[in-house]
Amino acid sequence: MTVDRPVLPEFQSLFDGAPCGLIITQEDGSILRANHIFSAWVGRESNELEGLRFQDLLTMGGRIFHQTHWSPLMRMQGSVAEVKLDLIHRDKTIVSMLLNGVRREHESGVFYELALFCTADRDKYERELLKARQLAEGLLAEKLAADVALSVAQAKLNDAYEKSHRRALFAEQMVAIVSHDLKNPLTAIKMAAEILTRRLPTGKDAMMLSHISSSADRAHRMIADLLDFALARVGRGISISASTIDMHSVTAQSIAELRVTFPDATLIHQASENGSFKLDADRLQQIIGNLVANSVAYGDLQRPITVVSRVDSDQASLSVHNFGAAISASALDGLFEPMTRGTEKNSDLRSVGLGLFIVREIVTAHGGDVSVHSSLEHGTTFTATFRLS
């Protein structure tokens, strides 16, 4: 079976219509034939190129490269591949091309067959690629510089934090030491005032002794709060010594003492259910004292302050209620943080702003929690809840 082979274009058509520049030269570079696309690339007619030397179409750098590199290679190894050259267009612009060539020996002489490819699009792509690479390298350098700057800043920040932490720890330790040492002279003042009071002084002396005793009580509460605050902040926490107590009796005793401390306030105690529960009696009195002092400082003293102690089968609670200005919603979230106050009301009965923080720490040490509800209509109620451990 005979298969018909397609008829190919004649050689001249293939040569002239090739999708690249084709040139045939003599060994000295004289152009014997050039196809149409090469002629178009250099802006000259084919017959105009015939007789010119190929190297005459090159830039000065290209001519030097021709003499020193690719022409010797053609003679020695018979071919060159992907040699980049710059040719001069008729209008003096530069056209970059890649050259592949072979050296062929015929009976009539030696000929160079050259194929050239225009690299305009390739050069543009390479330039864009180079720009992208340079941009990426620049961004990488900026990132590395930023990382270094960030590391330096982080190191400085850590150093500053360590220094501030050490200063804060030292300050808190000093507060704890000073607060503890102030207790002794303050106790002596309190005892001296009580001894003098027993002698039944009258008039201004009695009033002065009352002021001394009241001021000593207030200073004692402030020092106790500062000491507890310092212990909580340095990591030791507030210590408790829990035992089974009659919660109602301890609460009633604490309120009786507070009535003397705050004679202008009306304190009411309400007890509910059985009073036995495992708590630290001294710390319970401290909770009551801080919450009542807070109610006296911020509540309406024309209306009573009510303290409710309640004991159920599995939990106990203590609540202190007062009437007065409502605590704003924005202040409620941070109300139990140190140095925080619920209102801007001025009062000589204020402490250093640690009372509610100490209450929270004591309740937490018991494994309980503390909450607050406040409104203009119903007043403000602080509730400490304790659960069986």
Q: Is the distance from CB of 225 to CB of 290 less than 8 angstroms?
A: yes
Full-model pTM: 0.50
Q: Which of these three, 124, 141, 173, is where a domain ends?
A: 124
Q: CB-hemisphere CA count at 13 Å for 120? A: 6
* Beta strand extents in 174-246 (DSSP E only): 243-246
- 102 and 185 co-located in one domain: no
- Tell me whether residue 342 is in a domain: yes
What CATH number should be reported for the domain holding residue 182? 1.10.287
Q: Is the distance from CB of 96 to CB of 117 less than 8 angstroms?
A: no
Total of domains in the chain: 3
- 219 and 188 co-located in one domain: yes
Residue 12, pLDDT score: 80
- 295 and 338 co-located in one domain: yes
- 24 and 72 co-located in one domain: yes
- 322 and 216 co-located in one domain: no
Residue 103, pLDDT score: 94
- Tell me whether residue 140 is in a domain: no
How many other C-beta atoms are found inside a 10 Å radius of the C-beta of residue 326? 17
- Tell me whether residue 32 is in a domain: yes
How many other C-beta atoms are found inside a 10 Å radius of the C-beta of residue 283? 22
Q: How far apart are CA 76 and CA 130, in angstroms?
A: 35
The per-residue pLDDT string of the chain (389 residues; one tens digit each, 9 = 90 and over) reads: 555 666 666 778 888 888 899 999 999 999 999 999 999 999 999 889 998 999 999 999 989 998 998 889 999 999 999 988 899 999 999 999 999 999 999 888 899 999 999 887 777 888 888 888 898 888 888 888 888 998 988 988 888 888 777 766 655 666 655 555 565 676 666 677 677 766 656 666 666 766 677 677 666 766 777 666 666 665 566 778 889 999 999 999 999 888 888 889 999 999 987 878 999 988 899 899 989 999 998 999 999 999 999 998 889 999 999 998 898 888 888 888 876 655 555 444 445 577 888 899 889 989 999 999 999 889 999 999 998 86
Q: Which of these three, 177, 210, 237, is where a domain ends?
A: 237
Q: How far apart are CA 258 and CA 264, in angstroms?
A: 11
- Taking the mean position of all CA atoms in its chain, how far away is CA 279? 42
Tokens of 348: 């000589």
What CATH number should be reported for the domain holding residue 362? 3.30.565.10
- DSSP calls for 102-161: EEEEETTEEEEEEEEEE-HHHHHHHHHHHHHHHHHHHHHHHHHHHHHHHHHHHHHHHHHH
Tokens of 100: 């592949």
What CATH number should be reported for the domain holding residue 32? 3.30.450.20
Residue 350, pLDDT score: 47
Q: How far apart are CA 100 and CA 74, in angstroms?
A: 10
How many other C-beta atoms are found inside a 10 Å radius of the C-beta of residue 377? 6
- 95 and 119 co-located in one domain: yes
Token look-up 């008729």 returns: 90
Residue 160, pLDDT score: 84
Q: How far apart are CA 347 and CA 223, in angstroms?
A: 19
- Tell me whether residue 1 is in a domain: no
From the number of C-beta atoms within 10 Å of its C-beta (0-12, 13-18, 19+), residue 241 rates as exposed
Residue 179, pLDDT score: 57
- 63 and 193 co-located in one domain: no
- Closest to 279 in 3D by CA, of 385, 381, 354, 356: 385
Tokens of 177: 């030491």
- Tell me whether residue 137 is in a domain: no
- 166 and 244 co-located in one domain: no
Q: How far apart are CA 30 and CA 25, in angstroms?
A: 5
- 15 and 99 co-located in one domain: yes
- 264 and 329 co-located in one domain: yes
Q: How far apart are CA 73 and CA 99, in angstroms?
A: 13
Q: Which of these three, 208, 237, 266, is where a domain ends?
A: 237
- DSSP calls for 321-353: EE-BSPPPHHHHTTTTSTT--S-----TT--SS
Tokens of 249: 């009796």
Q: Is the distance from CB of 366 to CB of 388 less than 8 angstroms?
A: no
What Rg do the C-alpha atoms of the chain give, in angstroms? 50
Range of the domain at 111: 11-124
- 331 and 373 co-located in one domain: yes
- 17 and 106 co-located in one domain: yes
